[in-house]
């Protein structure tokens, strides 16, 4: 047995056997699952998309750039500002004096902006070839903002997703609004949440990897840095805090920053159109990019439900992480 066990790298075996038993094409439903049907997906920790699952939401029907500008007239919202659309992303620090050439974890510059200006910026940057602004703006606070900053719009969505609320027996921990344009990309990462992601306007393009692909994503300890405005420029300032373990492999540039396991992964790709709902299971890696509606925005909301840490999945996923790099 020892001999057999040594014959093949156990991590390679893990990923290939997962691939053999699971499709890398997402399951598509054309109507809401029942709570039981949903629970079957939770049990398998397997994504699905409900095409047109939120087609009848008031939000899906009414949230245009113009409508939102009316609705939030006079409001200020928190905006993540970066030079390249790289909020919370591994980024090569270009300043030789500090961390030149080093991959750091780049946090956005955050500032409050009048909502109307924010939307104008997004849409002009997207649609007007002569637009001169180069920085990238994204409303993406991930702090339950739909029930706080954007609370006046909340009633046009749902308080909770019925099949998820009934199956998981809990209310969402956070409901987040995401407003950006095609310049923003959310880097590959994972969250300890069951996630129901609802596209309202424009498209989101998800690349998904299962939790056991941790050995493929080249996690590195990255020192934290934040963008700050210095004159006309956004520059990265190193921070003192603890370094952040973060994926440095990008499934869209598979040759760069790869590990010996990266080539084994079969990314699952899905594009959400307005009204589509994605179930993104807890601990799946996701990279998200976006395309705009004809009026030049991309709008989504998502529901985060605390994952269940009991059962074997969470400790086994941590185990894969701690074994990675220790294979003889």
Ligand X SMILES: O=C(O)CCC(=O)C(=O)O
| CA distance linking residue 295 with residue 282, whole number of Å | 33
Tell me which of a second copy, ligand X, none is bound by residue 273, counting a contact when its beta carbon lies within the kind-specific cut-off of 5 to 8 angstroms.
none
Taking CB within 5 to 8 Å according to partner kind, which of ligand X, a second copy, none is near residue 5? Answer: a second copy
Helices of type H across 272-312: none
132 contacts which partner out of a second copy, ligand X, none, CB within 5 to 8 A by kind?
none
The Cα–Cα gap between 91 and 97 comes to 16
320 binds a second copy (CB under 8 A): yes
Q: Which does 154 bind (CB under 5 to 8 A by kind): a second copy, ligand X, none?
A: none
Beta bridge partners of 179: 139, 299
Window contacting a second copy (CB under 8 A); options: 62-70, 83-91, 165-173, 232-240? 165-173
The partner in contact with residue 45, picked from a second copy, ligand X, none with C-beta cut-offs of 5 to 8 angstroms by kind, is a second copy
Please give the Cα distance from 92 to 103 (Å, whole number): 4
Q: Which CB, 11 or 301, lies closer to ligand X?
A: 301
Q: Which DSSP letter does residue 139 get?
A: B
Q: Distance (Å, rounded) from C-alpha 33 to C-alpha 135?
A: 41
Residue 169: φ, ψ to 5°: 55, 40
Per 3-state DSSP, the chain is made up of helix, strand and coil in percentages (nearest 5) of 25, 35, 40
**Interatomic CA distance for residues 78 and 85, integer angstroms:** 15
Binding segment for a second copy among 13-21, 83-91, 180-188, 247-255 (CB under 8 A)?
13-21
Residue 195 interacts with, from a second copy, ligand X, none (CB under 5-8 Å by kind): ligand X
Question: Total number of residues binding ligand X (CB under 6 A)?
Answer: 10
Give the helix/strand (H/E) hosting 67.
helix 65-71
318 binds a second copy per the rule CB under 8 A:
yes
Q: Are 293 and 199 in contact (CB under 8 A)?
A: no
Q: From 265, 79, 278, select the one nearest 181 (Cα to Cα).
A: 79
Q: Count residues contacting a second copy (CB under 8 A)?
A: 50
Among 48, 57, 178, 246, binds ligand X (CB under 6 A): 178
Which residues here bind a second copy, judged by CB under 8 A? 1-2, 5-6, 10-11, 13-14, 17-18, 21-22, 35-36, 39-40, 42-46, 166-167, 169, 210-212, 219, 221, 245, 308-323, 325-328
Which residues here bind ligand X, judged by CB under 6 A? 178, 186, 191, 195, 197, 204, 286, 288, 300, 302
């Amino acid at each position: 047995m020892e001999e057999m066990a040594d014959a093949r790298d156990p991590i390679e075996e893990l990923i290939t056997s997962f691939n053999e038993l699971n499709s890398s094409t997402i399951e598509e439903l054309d109507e809401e699952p029942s709570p039981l049907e949903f629970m079957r997906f939770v049990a398998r920790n397997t994504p699905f998309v409900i095409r047109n699952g939120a087609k009848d939401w008031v939000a899906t029907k009414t949230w245009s750039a113009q409508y939102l500008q009316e609705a939030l007239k006079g409001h200020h919202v928190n905006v993540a500002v970066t030079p390249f659309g790289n909020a919370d992303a591994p980024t090569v620090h270009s300043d030789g004096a500090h961390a030149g050439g080093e991959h750091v974890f780049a946090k956005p510059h955050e500032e409050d902006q009048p909502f109307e200006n924010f939307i104008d910026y997004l849409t002009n940057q997207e649609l007007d070839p002569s637009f001169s602004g180069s920085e990238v703006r994204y409303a993406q606070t991930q702090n339950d903002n739909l029930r706080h900053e954007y609370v006046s719009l909340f009633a046009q969505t749902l308080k909770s997703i019925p099949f998820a609320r009934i199956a998981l027996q809990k209310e969402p921990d956070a409901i987040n609004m995401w407003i950006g344009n095609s310049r923003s990309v959310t880097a590959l990462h994972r969250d300890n949440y069951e996630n129901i992601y609802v596209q309202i306007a424009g498209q989101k393009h998800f690349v998904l990897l299962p939790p056991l692909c941790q050995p493929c994503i080249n996690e590195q300890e990255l020192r934290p840095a934040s963008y700050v405005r210095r004159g006309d420029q956004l520059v990265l300032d190193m921070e003192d805090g603890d370094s952040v373990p973060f994926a440095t492999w990008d499934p869209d540039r598979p040759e760069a920053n790869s590990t010996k396991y990266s080539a084994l992964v079969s990314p699952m790709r899905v594009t959400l159109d307005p009204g589509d709902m994605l179930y993104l299971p807890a601990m799946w890696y996701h990279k998200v990019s976006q395309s705009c509606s004809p009026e030049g925005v991309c709008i989504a909301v998502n529901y985060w439900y605390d994952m269940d840490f009991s059962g074997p999945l969470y400790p086994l996923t941590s185990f894969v992480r701690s074994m990675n790099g220790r294979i003889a």
